[in-house]
Amino acid sequence: MTKLKSPGSASKTGSHSELIETIEEQSAELRLLRKEVAEWRKKYEKGELRDIGFNNSEKELQPVYTPLDAAETSAQALGMPGVYPYTRGVHATGYRGRLWTMRQFAGFGSARDTNERYKFLLDHGQTGLSVAFDFPTLMGYDSDHPRSEGEVGKCGVAISSLADMEVLFDGIPLDQVSTSMTINGPAVILYCFYIAAAEKQGVDSRELRGTIQNDILKEYMAQHAWVYPIEPALRLIVDCFEWSAEHVPQWNTISISGYHIREAGATAAQELAFTLADGFTYVERGIARGLNVDTFAPRLSFFWDIHNDFFEEIAKLRAARRIWGRHMKERYGAKDPRSLMMRFHSQTAGVTLTAQQPMNNVVRVAYQAMAAALGGTQSLHTNSMDETLALPTEDAVRLALRTQQILAYETGIPNVIDPLGGSYYVETLTTELEREAESLFEQIEKVGGVVRGLETGWLQRRINESAARQQWEIEQRRRVIVGVNEFVTDEAGLAIELLKVADETEREQKARMAELRRRRDADLVEKRLAALREAAKTPQNLMPYILDCARAYCTLYEIRAAMESVFGAYREPVFF
């Protein structure tokens, strides 16, 4: 195939006639390439095609890509690793300097149960911890609250107070491990439990490393684990930015999450645009508080879903870095290079796991993990094959971790930075996703921004429309899911072992809660909660008050309720 000569190949000191000659040569190459493509197109159209949709998450793809498609990507937009606009990665050394963090999301039963799982994972080579909380904790309820009945420890670990957090990390030095906590509505409360647990270990908060998800906008949009109305919830997030910049400077105070948006049915372009729009909203709220963007932006991180379309996912990650860097520099005036660098965690797509033929999930996860590595992720969770059926067993989670280790040490992928950079297909996809995201930003602005888009249901409807279309494609077999709508077998029963969380966990947690309430200083608890309630009525930063409540062993729900008495509770409007 004809290759295009760059106009830059003419020397800057060359004559005017040499430049004209170069341009004429390039024009001739373009004419020849267009002729070659036209001849190929005739052959292609005469051929027989399979009766299936040749689409990515949203639209039909071209059968082949050439320099004509990738011509829009300039050398400046592509750049080099570790150099603005960071299309090819945020670190100049890529994975040659440091591999991605292998961080398996884990949590079940009691704090003691999960502590044992963490030690198992660390013993098998995991390099970071990631806490999965049970549903009552995610919603801000104690294990002994009536609404927690039947759910304690079932889909994650039950954490109702500093006492539980102390047990969760017993024997794990918090100054020597990086911890991610996936929680949003009551995020700052769990964050304070963690800081207080570190204090109990004698660890200064300035030594702590990790991430709290703390992304409430995507909860209203997709996952629905909220507590307070939008405005007070955003206030708490900015309080966290402001306070942590001084007291926990190595901590990522938010993980702006596309994962749940994609799992709810969004396309790759929607995940990209809606997540970045959330990020811009948080930046704007921080600036409106009077914070210098460079004091908090370096600690903003992202979390992406890695779906089945291999090349689209790689292009999405590359486009995300480029868009974030450009907007932070040109729109928000960030000067610190760290503010321009998008750092992110990735997780293979839970929504792609199937209950049918669950062993197939091992293969799905391996390819998705490879896409994450080729896209330059800083951290990765690989789903276990049984996660669509239950929380993973030790054998399943070990295999998921080994998948990452084989990818890191046996495939050669970490040896070269952005090895697909320059691919006609990948560069075209990267540019197209960037363009689609910018178009969606304009639409969001027209409806009044992210918060207004949530209040009116505009964002939620876009995701639901996309989810419905993708489901239709599966049902019509325009999109094949192996073992679900094609290659189906009669299975006598599950051939894999499943983890079951005993009901004893709930009884034990209730007993622990009763003992905690009996032995703590009740007067101090009420004094700290009263101080928090009063502070919530003022513009003061609430982080010191929440941390004081945590230190006094106030429970999760007690702290939640103290602020809820001032802020009120979020009630989702009816959109559909």
pLDDT in tens, 523-532: 999 999 999 9
What pLDDT does 508 receive? 94
Using one digit for the tens of pLDDT, what is the confidence trace for 62-120? 999 999 888 878 888 899 999 999 999 999 999 999 999 998 777 888 999 999 989 98
Mean pLDDT value of segment 516-539: 98
pLDDT (mean) for 402-411: 97
Q: Answer whether residue 371 shows pLDDT above 90.
A: yes
pLDDT per residue over 154-181, tens digit each?
889 999 999 999 999 999 999 999 999 9
Q: Give the model's pLDDT for residue 170.
A: 97
pTM of the full predicted structure? 0.92
**pLDDT above 80 for 4:** no
Which pLDDT does position 493 carry in this prediction?
59
What's the pLDDT band for 481 if we cut at 50, 70, 90?
A: very high
Residue 102 contacts residue 128 (beta carbons within 8 Å): yes
* Chain centroid to CA 265: 15
Domain with CATH 3.20.20.240 in the chain: 89-416
| 502 and 110 Cβ atoms separated by less than 8 Å | no
Q: What is the mean pLDDT of residues 461-473?
A: 96
Q: Check residues 187 and 576 and name the one with the higher pLDDT.
A: 187
The phi-psi region of residue 435 (left if phi > 0; otherwise alpha if psi is between -120 and 50; otherwise beta) is: alpha
Q: What is the pLDDT of residue 71?
A: 82
User: Which residues 6+ apart lie within 8 Å of 188 measured at CB?
Assistant: 212, 214, 236, 237, 239, 240, 542, 543, 546
Q: Mean per-residue pLDDT for 4-33?
A: 70
Classified as helix, coil or strand, 179 is: strand
Mean pLDDT in residue range 251-270 = 97
What per-residue confidence (pLDDT) applies to 1? Answer: 56
Three-state secondary-structure class, residue 212: strand
Cα-only R_g, the chain: 25
**Which regions of 372-412 does DSSP assign to beta strands (E)?**
379-381
Q: Could you confirm whether domain 89-416 is CATH 3.20.20.240?
A: yes
State yes or no: pLDDT of 16 exceeds 80: no
pLDDT computed for residue 10 by the predictor: 46
Question: So what's the pLDDT on residue 2?
Answer: 55
Instruction: Please state the rounded mean pLDDT for residues 528-544.
Output: 98
Spatial distance between the Cα atoms of 501 and 5, rounded to a whole number of angstroms:
63
Q: What average pLDDT does the segment 272-291 reach?
A: 98
Is the per-residue pLDDT at 328 higher than 50? yes
Closest by Cα among 338, 323, 187 to 249 = 338
**Of 565, 573, 490, whose CA–CA distance to 534 is shortest?**
565
Please state which of the ranges 122-126, 232-236, 420-424 shows the lowest mean pLDDT: 122-126
